């Protein structure tokens, strides 16, 4: 960053921060003002947030400390933040609105880092789901007061394993018994973590044991032995294939369909699932097997009978 000559007088520096024509580069220098009382920095932070083009704020923010970034991000205009964060190209939208231009400067992660501190949870939620959001910002948003923000972090394909573990700990460490809506949120979060491709194998096994088998079975990184174990558990269940327990049967069917749809399911298990589908006239399960890229050619159906059971080539 180019050096900016600042007045020695604190009073003049404060006046400079308040001046509407002061450039973003000068404001950035004032934000790093050494005055111990901090009033110059406070004026410069507010002026930067309210007057400077957003792309330039993001550019200069690489030299700000975390506290300053949080203060500026919270002060950014809400309606503009909605337009920028909701855009398919936030930087282009910010440039269009402000006329700022920094050719060749990759400011998107810096802009998202600022917006992660917005007061509006809907904006933080969009930032939490963006694949260019910095890891440090995802870590911050994983502990956001809003469940939907935290859920967006869990749904972000770029979220690393250690942050997924943080989200899982947040579910496990709730104080007091959860109410009905909190229970639903817990289930949503556990299922999303179970589906995430960065979730560890040990966590997948733990979540399967906690009843999130459908979500675990849909994870393409689920180990084959766990897929096999969940399938066997489902078709050995007392309620499977009967009308004795509709809820149990429905859940077991859902697990088997998820296993049958998983591209990591080995061919021998797909063959077993196809045979189950044939014996039980389960068209939906059969279709999941048939669409799987690993399905052996020998179990493709030759024809469908009126009752819905396929006639297999083997």
Least confident of 34-48, 97-111, 209-223: 97-111
The structure's pTM equals: 0.84
CA distance 260 to 162: 29
pLDDT of residue 303: 42
pLDDT tens digits along 123-177: 999 999 998 899 999 999 999 999 999 999 999 999 999 999 999 998 877 656 6
What's the mean per-residue pLDDT of the chain? 85
User: If we measure between CA atoms, which residue out of 37, 15, 35 comes closest to residue 26?
Assistant: 15
How many Cβ atoms from other residues are within 10 Å of residue 279's Cβ? 10
- For residues 194 and 171, the answer to whether their CB atoms sit within 8 Å is no
Report DSSP state, residue 262. -
What DSSP assignment string belongs to 189-233? HHHHHHH-TTS-HHHHHHHHHTT-HHHHHT-TTS-HHHHHHHHHH
pLDDT tens digits along 234-256: 887 655 555 545 455 568 899 99
Q: Which residues contact 233 (CB under 8 A, 6 or more apart)?
A: 213, 255
Which tokens belong to 281? 């006239």
pLDDT of residue 305: 45
Identify which of 80-84, 194-198, 285-289 has the greatest average pLDDT: 194-198
Domains of the chain by residue range: 160-314
Report DSSP state, residue 237. S
Which tokens belong to 109? 């992660």
CA distance 13 to 43: 10
Name which residue leads in pLDDT, 169 or 89: 169
């Amino acid at each position: 960053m180019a050096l900016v000559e600042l007045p020695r007088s604190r009073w003049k520096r404060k006046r400079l921060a308040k001046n509407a024509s002061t450039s973003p580069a000068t404001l950035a220098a004032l934000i790093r003002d050494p005055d111990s009382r901090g009033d110059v920095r406070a004026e410069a932070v507010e002026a930067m947030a309210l007057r400077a083009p957003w792309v330039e704020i993001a550019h200069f923010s690489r030299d700000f400390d975390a506290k300053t970034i949080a203060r500026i991000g919270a002060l950014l205009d809400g309606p503009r933040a909605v337009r920028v964060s909701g855009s398919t190209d936030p930087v282009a939208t910010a440039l269009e609105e402000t006329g700022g231009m920094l050719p060749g400067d990759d400011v998107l992660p810096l802009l998202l880092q600022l917006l992660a501190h917005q007061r509006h949870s809907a904006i933080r939620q969009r930032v939490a789901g963006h694949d260019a959001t910095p890891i440090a910002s995802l870590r911050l948003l994983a502990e956001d007061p809003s469940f939907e923000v935290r859920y967006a972090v869990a749904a972000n394909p770029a979220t690393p394993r250690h942050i997924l573990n943080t989200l899982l700990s947040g579910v496990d460490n709730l104080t007091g018994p959860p109410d009905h809506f909190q229970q639903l949120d817990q289930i949503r979060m556990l299922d999303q973590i179970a589906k995430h491709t960065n979730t560890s194998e040990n966590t997948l096994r733990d979540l399967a044991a906690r009843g999130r088998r459908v979500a675990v079975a849909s994870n393409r990184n689920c180990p084959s032995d766990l897929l096999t174990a969940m399938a066997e558990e489902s078709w050995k269940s007392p309620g499977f294939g009967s009308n004795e327990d509709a809820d149990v049967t429905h859940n077991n069917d859902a697990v088997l369909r998820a296993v049958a749809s998983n591209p990591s399911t080995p061919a021998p298990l797909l063959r077993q699932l196809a045979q189950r589908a044939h014996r039980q006239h389960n068209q939906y399960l059969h279709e999941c097997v048939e669409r799987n890229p690993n399905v052996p050619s020998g179990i493709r159906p030759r024809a469908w009978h009126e009752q819905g059971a396929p006639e297999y080539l083997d």
